[in-house]
Structure 1
Amino acid sequence: MRKAGAEVDRIEKLTDIVTHFVDNGEWRRAATLLAQKHPEDVARVLEKLGKEDRTKVFKFLPLELQAEVLLCFDDDIINEMLKVLSHKDLGELVEEMDADDAADIVLELPEEERDKVLSHVPPEDREDVEKLLEYPENSAGGLMTTEYVAFPADKKISEVIEELKKLEESESRLLYIIGKDGKLVGVTTYRKLLLSNPDSTLGDIAEEVPSVSVLADQEEVIRAVEKYDLIEMPVVDEEGKLVGVITLDDIIDVVEEEASDDIYKLGGLGEVESIFSHPVKSAKRRLPWLIMNLLTAFIAASVVGFFKDTISKIVYLAVFMPVVAGMGGNAGTQTLAMVVRSIALGEVTFKDVKRLLLKEIMVGILIGLAVGAITSAVAYLWVGNPVFGLLVFIALLGNMIVACIMGLLIPIILK
């Protein structure tokens, strides 16, 4: 916590200095200061500025840093920047990025503008980006980079080491070994390569590694990474040929995205929302779920309305109704959280529904008995009527069972 607090303080101090420069119209000076900082820190500071000031400071940053900072922005800010930057400016930024990152940015553009931006990118880089754009955004192909190091299995280790000296630095941390047909044979680490007999071939030191199809969903990728404890994931086509690699930074991004998506779904938000999103956008994203809840509240109110005469005679019913309803909501949320997490991790399928349904009914009975006993005892002591206490007990027991059942079924049905 102290470390996190220190991190926040550091960003806040940097933001204060940059804001001071901006308020005095010294955008270039603010950019000069930020140019010495990490791209992630620069992005966090710029997100706190107004739209106009943010754009001015951003344009004064070095081109390489602009590309890195753009990737660190929240989605709403990225879309905002894409609207204010020219096609030529965006083309230059895309050229600075790795192919997979460039594809992510281009994908955010309207289709009619993508070619205009890519026309400012060198043909070789453009071809790499266009190839990645062919794959679905949330697929392994949409996540992978085509910038990796691969050599044939029959190549001597001494020859590989010499060739590696001539290559540019790769984002990949492993060396991939392929057959003559381009199919993935295995991987090796650079350390193992250097410690091996120079006269041996790569096939001699190749280690088998799992791979995913280029069309595999990103959730499948994450499950495979977790299962096999990998730092990066090779991607193959339908013939088993190596076509790309999903690196550690992209794996972490997907894990964060999937976790955020699940949390937002629990809150009734259809898509990921930045804390700094425009109020109108935030309201649009939140309203549908709230309106749906409002409708269900009206239904519940109408049911209560049927018993208004009974409630008017027994006033204490109105006192304990919120308790019964609130406890049902809490129990349902607990089950919902467990089920959503299990679905995200691939632990639950439709085949499990019957077994889980019986389990949640039993859970509902157990917590209903416990909570109902406590609440009915309080009701009896408060009202002095054992029948009223029994009614509260039965209501809570039934509500707990229904809440657990619905907390299980709703996310599975929606999935």
Structure 2
Amino acid sequence: MQIHRQRRGLSRPVVAGLLGMSPSWVKQVETGRIQMPRLPVVLRIAEILRVRDLADLTGDQTLQVDLFIGPGHPRLPAVQAAVDSFPFTEDREAPPATHLRARLRQAWAARHQAPNHRDVVGALLPELIRDAQLAVRQAETAKDRRAGQAALSEVYSLSQFFVAYQPDSALLWRIAERGMVAAQESEDPHAIGVAGWLTAQAHRDTGPNRFDAADAVTEKALRYLEPYLPDADDRVVAIAGALQFEAGYTAARRGESGTAWGWWDRADRTAARLSPGYYHPVTSFSRAIMGAHAVTVAVELRAGGESVRQAAAADAVAIPSRPRLARHRIEEARAYHLDGQAETALATLEKAHRAAPETIKYNGYARRILLEETESKSPARRRRAAALADELGLLAA
């Protein structure tokens, strides 16, 4: 605990305040003068210190418990095989780029509409990956090759959503890197912006030691897009806004309140440029999403009261994507949990589950809250949390 606290640059009084404990209690835990805290407290410590594997705190290496990595999806091996295979020789003709684009639009629509979105996307991806790779290989002109690379980059973007939070980080990074290479080869500003957005997320979600790398990618992507923005269409404006919010998200993870809200303001001004009702299919960036983004910033800054106020102000009904709505519900649940409203937090997680069960199943924050509440002193809360945790497979032997 002391090592991870110092790596994050946090003092004992700061950690104590976030835990609702005294600095002397933190010191006693770190020096081994008291026994290991109960599971709810260990989970809270893990979140504050951004520790992904509980074994890094408990010292028990016999059982790995990764808070932020979900179970391996049954379709993961097929997607992995498609990513790792290259069509050097194929007897069939590659589909045209327009055909790939139409299938991609259908795949994104399916992802946003299906409660079991990973299962749906995982079924579509293997053939999409192979066809997009083949289209690039068989392109006869520079124009066709650039169009194929743009489509391939977007296929990798969809793949990254599927692979994220699954137990294959090496595959995630291969996809992110190949997506960035394909985007650069396409010379398409939108494709490059999306690849930058996803690469920044991959860096940030790796942990605090990669925050600087996330910022560097975000900054470079925004600088690249800047000349295009005065005359850009909604797609390019939206990816610029999404990148601006990502910069704010990383700042909030660092605890830099002023910087985080400053970036949120910039993203909000960018959202105002979008056509009414526009919703970016990859990033979900839109006018409607800014309320949800405000909740995320407040939660990451661990401002309980402000988080709840932002949650009350956000218009969840305006979010048309089921997985993005479920993600917003999870952020709301975090807000209520921070504010000590455990019952409301559980009710909000139940709403997230109704919107998209696969989103909550792979979300480490949702799992942390549920596991903590399964040890609540309230029998009613214990039963409620255990019922949902059991449905998600968290209590399986």
Give the TM-score normalised by structure 2. 0.31
Compare relative contact order (CA 8 Å, sep 6+) and give the higher one, 1 or 2: 2
Larger Rg: 1
Larger strand proportion of the pair = 1
Give the TM-score normalised by structure 1. 0.30
